[in-house]
Amino acid sequence: MDFSNLANALTFANLALALFGVIAGTVIGSIPGLSATMAVAVLVPITFAMAPASALIMLGAIYTGAIYGGAYSAILLNTPGTPSAIATTFDGYPMAKRGDGDLAVAIACYASVTGGMIGALALLLLAPPLSQVALAFGPVEYLWLSIFGLSLIASLSTGNVLKGLTGGALGLLLSCVGVAEISADIRLTFGSSTLIGGIEVVGALIGLYCIPVLIDLVATPERHLKVEEEVRAVRFREGARIAWGSRFNLIRSSVIGTVIGILPGAGGSVAGLVAYSEAKRTAKPGQKFGEGEPDGIMATESANNATVGGGFIPTLVLGIPGTPPDAVILGALLVQGVRTGPALFDGGGSIVYTFIFGLFIATILMLPTGLLIGRYAYKTIVTIPKTILVPAVGFMTIIGTFAIRNSISDVIIMITLGAIGWVLSRFGFAASPIVLGLILGPIAEQGFVQAWIIGEATGNLTGMFFGRPISLAIIAFTILSLLYPLVQSRRAKRLIKMQAGSND
Partner 1 sequence: MTDAVPAKSRKDIGTLVIASLLVAIGLLTLYDTTGYSDSDSIVFPTFVAYALILGSLTVIIHCWLRPNPELGFGTGDWWRRLLLVASMIVACLVMPFSGFLPATAIAFAGSLVAARHEGWDVKSALVFALSGAVIMAGFYVLFRFALSVPLP
**Which residues contact partner 1 (rule: CB under 8 A)?**
42, 160, 162-163, 165-166, 169-170, 172-173, 176, 180, 182-183, 185, 187-188, 190, 211, 214-221, 386-392, 394-396, 398-399, 402-403, 406, 408, 411-412, 415-416, 418-419, 423-424, 426-429, 444-445, 448-449, 452-453
Q: Nearer to partner 1 by C-beta: 126 or 217?
A: 217
Q: Nearer to partner 1 by C-beta: 354 or 397?
A: 397
Q: How far is the CB of 207 from partner 1 (least distance, A)?
A: 10
Q: Nearer to partner 1 by C-beta: 452 or 477?
A: 452
Burial (0-12, 13-18, 19+ Cβ within 10 Å), 336: middle
Q: How far is the CB of 445 from partner 1 (least distance, A)?
A: 4
Q: How far is the CB of 396 from partner 1 (least distance, A)?
A: 7
Q: Nearer to partner 1 by C-beta: 31 or 256?
A: 31
3-state secondary structure of 181: coil
| Separation between Cα atoms, residue 382 and residue 101, nearest integer Å | 9
With contact defined as beta carbons under 8 Å apart, do 70 and 303 qualify? Answer: no
**C-alpha dist (Å) from residue 256 to 122, 263, 282, 331, 473:** 11, 11, 14, 27, 16
Q: Nearer to partner 1 by C-beta: 181 or 228?
A: 181
SS3 sequence, 336-388?
CCCCCCCHHHHCCHHHHHHHHHHHHHHHHHHHHHHHHHHHHHHHHHHHCCHHH
Under DSSP, the state recorded for 85 is: G
Q: How far is the CB of 66 from partner 1 (least distance, A)?
A: 14
Q: How far is the CB of 493 from partner 1 (least distance, A)?
A: 14
Q: Nearer to partner 1 by C-beta: 133 or 412?
A: 412
Q: How far is the CB of 448 from partner 1 (least distance, A)?
A: 5
Q: Nearer to partner 1 by C-beta: 218 or 343?
A: 218
Q: How far is the CB of 14 from partner 1 (least distance, A)?
A: 24
Closest CA to 110 of 310, 200, 287, 244: 244
| Separation between Cα atoms, residue 175 and residue 232, nearest integer Å | 45
| Separation between Cα atoms, residue 293 and residue 90, nearest integer Å | 9
- Residues with Cβ within 8 Å of 19's Cβ and at least 6 positions away in sequence, in order, are 61, 365, 369
Q: How far is the CB of 228 from partner 1 (least distance, A)?
A: 22
3-state secondary structure of 180: coil
Q: How far is the CB of 385 from partner 1 (least distance, A)?
A: 9
Q: Nearer to partner 1 by C-beta: 276 or 465?
A: 465
> Rounded to the nearest 5 degrees, what angle is found at the Cα of 172, between the Cα atoms of 197 and 162?
150
Residue 346 pairs in a beta bridge with: none
| Separation between Cα atoms, residue 145 and residue 447, nearest integer Å | 10
Q: Nearer to partner 1 by C-beta: 11 or 189?
A: 189
